[in-house]
């Protein structure tokens, strides 16, 4: 349904504008947003059960439900009411957003007058939905104020000697204000704080939030048997697999790393990426508005659970990233790897202390520990929910075209400016990858026929990007499977969602 895509396009524009496209913060805001839509939809259908895990019931809910569900203009009323919620929610989230400056016709539907008292009540309910019963949003932005860390630019210099090699340590990364004269790469002057930023643990307390179907105060699935915790019992083996990969990082692997990176200021991480894919599938299968509302609610709930679970693992295991392990254990040892100092060459010999993952030089690696990959967990959960919802749909089929409201929200290097494209197809022209500016050497086309192909590629993208090990990707796949089972079970038992809802007439 294009109407929901229009709302979501404006929503994501505001998310990116205000810098809330970090994985945890985006996931909880999206869940609140889609929960609001679902609760408004529940006013119109007698067998829809409202979601009250975060919010108080709407005053006069039963009276309004009876009135709206028997209305002869139910479809028109629903569109207008979710419009009220959308505009009010964004204004509550961002006071600089001017509500109702965009009119119903701007979104593609005709306005219907709604009683002023009901209007005010709906506005209040949408705003309450944002904040909920918990403190997810404030916790999502919580940062431990460390002042030291592992210095990380291509020079390999390090003034931080107290590193605990088997634990996560925050990084100090260049911000781009100071560059090396010989190659124009960003570097750090540790005596000048204006040349770097300290990456602290973003969302350190986030795991304390109660998700949709996952509660960290109760038992989170135990995957400890699959996790290496020391260099000797598996971290060395996993790190060496990364270094073997980096001896010949292919153009396809580089494009995959960039497609799903979600690390640039103007793009969406996997939670948002898969919401876009959901909208494209909705277009392909001409899904109804009511089933759109249910689908996005299901995705928002699952992605919220994924974020809580992944961050529980990050906090609990506090595992180091590959860059910390390589720079500690291979310091003053020559390794063969990709290097930003010579991106045209497949690999060069370098001191291990100089190793950098295939990432933006002012980002290097995400500001939180390893062991659970947010990318993998989010992607598995979203992908499996979409497979459940659409009964294993086809993405790329060679002819189905979908509209992209803003293709640069997914990846600025792929299909730039294309408003219409084949679903599941991403084209990289030579030299368009932002990370190194020279790859790929030849055109690369990434095509995903099944959602499973896409979510597996999203997980592996973080291995190709040097951010996670293969083990982390495998562990996170298991975590994602556990999360999606919990989420779908609650959707089916508590909300009576059928499989797949989008093909059911029982709305």
Name the nearest CA neighbour of 152 among 187, 117, 113. Answer: 187
Evaluate whether residue 120 is within a structural domain. Answer: yes
* pTM listed for this prediction: 0.94
294: pLDDT strictly greater than 90: yes
Whether 244 is covered by a domain: the verdict is: no
- Considering the domain boundaries, does residue 91 fall inside one? yes
Q: Express each pLDDT in 113-147 by its tens digit.
A: 888 888 898 888 888 887 764 445 555 444 555 66
Do 441 and 424 contact (CB within 8 A), yes or no? no
Q: Which helix H or strand E contains 421, and what residues bound it? A: strand 420-422
129-133 contacts: CB < 8 A, separation 24 or more? Answer: 129/32, 129/33, 129/35, 129/36, 129/39, 129/54, 129/55, 129/85, 129/89, 130/29, 130/32, 130/33, 130/36, 130/89, 130/92, 130/93, 131/92, 132/32, 132/54, 132/55, 133/53, 133/54, 133/55
* Cα 189 to Cα 187: distance, rounded to the nearest angstrom: 7
Helices assigned H by DSSP within 391-469: 451-464
- Please tell me the predicted confidence (pLDDT) of residue 502: 54
Q: Are 490 and 483 in contact (CB under 8 A)?
A: no
pLDDT of the residue at 507? 43
Could you give the residue ranges of the DSSP H alpha helices within 112-166?
116-131, 136-140
Residue 14 banded pLDDT, cuts 50, 70, 90: very high
200 close to 146: Cβ distance less than 8 angstroms? yes
Task: Give a yes or no: residue 112 inside a domain.
Answer: yes
User: Would you state the pLDDT for residue 137?
Assistant: 55
Compute φ and ψ for 105, nearest 5 degrees. -65, -30
Q: Tell me: the pLDDT tens digits for 412-438?
A: 777 655 667 788 999 999 999 988 889
pLDDT higher than 80, residue 161: no
Does residue 289 sit within a domain? no
Q: Identify which of 51, 15, 1, 3 has the alpha carbon closest to the alpha carbon of residue 273.
A: 15
Among 78-92, 273-287, 294-308, 397-411, which stretch is predicted with the lowest mean pLDDT? Answer: 397-411
pLDDT of residue 407: 61
In a domain, residue 328? The reply is: no
Question: How large a percentage of the chain has pLDDT more than 70?
Answer: 92
Is residue 405, in this structure, part of any structural domain at all? no
| 73 belongs to a structural domain | yes
Per the structure, the complete domain to which residue 88 belongs is given by 2-140
What is the Cα–Cα distance from 52 to 375, expressed in whole angstroms? 28
Residues 419, 274, 478: CA angle, nearest 5 degrees: 155
| pLDDT tens per residue across span 465-501 | 999 999 999 999 999 999 999 999 999 999 999 866 5
Domain count for the chain, please give it. Answer: 1
């Amino acid at each position: 349904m294009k109407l929901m895509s229009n709302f979501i396009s404006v929503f994501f524009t505001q998310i990116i504008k205000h810098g809330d496209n970090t994985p945890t913060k985006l996931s909880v805001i999206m869940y609140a947003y889609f929960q609001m839509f679902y609760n408004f939809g529940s006013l119109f259908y007698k067998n829809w059960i409202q979601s009250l895990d975060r919010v108080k019931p709407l005053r006069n809910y039963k009276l309004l439900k009876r009135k709206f569900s028997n209305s002869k203009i139910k479809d028109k009323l629903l569109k207008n009411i979710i419009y009220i919620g959308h505009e009010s929610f964004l204004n509550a989230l961002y006071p600089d957003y001017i509500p109702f400056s965009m009119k119903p016709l701007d979104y593609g539907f005709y306005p219907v007058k709604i009683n002023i008292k009901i209007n005010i009540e709906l506005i209040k309910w949408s705003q309450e939905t944002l904040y909920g019963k918990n403190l997810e949003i404030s916790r999502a932005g919580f940062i431990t104020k460390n002042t030291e860390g592992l210095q990380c630019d291509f020079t390999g210099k390090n003034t931080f000697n107290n590193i605990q090699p088997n634990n996560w340590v925050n990084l100090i990364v260049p911000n781009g204000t100071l560059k090396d004269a010989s190659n124009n790469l960003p570097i750090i002057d540790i005596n000048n704080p204006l040349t770097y930023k300290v990456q602290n643990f973003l969302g350190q307390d986030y795991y304390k939030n109660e998700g949709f179907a996952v509660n960290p105060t109760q038992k989170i699935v135990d995957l400890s048997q699959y996790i290496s915790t020391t260099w000797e019992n598996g971290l060395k083996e996993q790190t060496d697999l990364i270094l073997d990969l980096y001896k010949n990082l292919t153009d396809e692997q580089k494009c995959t790393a960039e497609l799903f990176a979600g690390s640039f200021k103007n793009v969406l991480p996997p939670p948002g990426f898969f919401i876009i894919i959901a909208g494209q599938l909705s277009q392909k299968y001409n899904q109804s508005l009511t089933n759109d509302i249910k689908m996005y609610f299901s995705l928002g709930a699952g992605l919220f659970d994924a974020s809580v679970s992944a961050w529980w693992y990050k906090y609990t295991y506090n595992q180091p990233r590959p860059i910390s392990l390589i720079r500690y254990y291979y310091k003053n040892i020559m390794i063969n790897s990709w290097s930003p100092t010579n991106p045209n060459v497949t690999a060069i010999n370098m001191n291990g202390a100089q190793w950098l993952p295939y990432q933006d030089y002012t980002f290097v690696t995400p500001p939180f520990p390893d062991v659970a990959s947010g990318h993998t967990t989010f992607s598995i959960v979203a992908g499996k929910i979409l497979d459940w919802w659409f009964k294993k749909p086809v993405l790329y089929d060679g002819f189905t075209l979908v509209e992209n409201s803003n293709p640069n929200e997914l990846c600025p290097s792929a299909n730039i400016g294309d408003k219409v494209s084949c679903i599941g197809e991403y084209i990289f022209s030579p030299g368009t990858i932002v990370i190194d500016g020279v790859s790929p050497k030849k055109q690369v086309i990434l095509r995903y026929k099944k959602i499973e192909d896409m979510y597996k590629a999203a997980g592996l993208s973080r291995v190709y990007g040097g951010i996670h090990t293969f083990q982390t990707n495998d562990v996170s796949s298991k975590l994602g499977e556990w999360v999606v089972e919990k989420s779908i079970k609650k959707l089916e038992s508590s909300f009576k969602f059928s499989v797949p809802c989008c093909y059911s007439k029982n709305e």
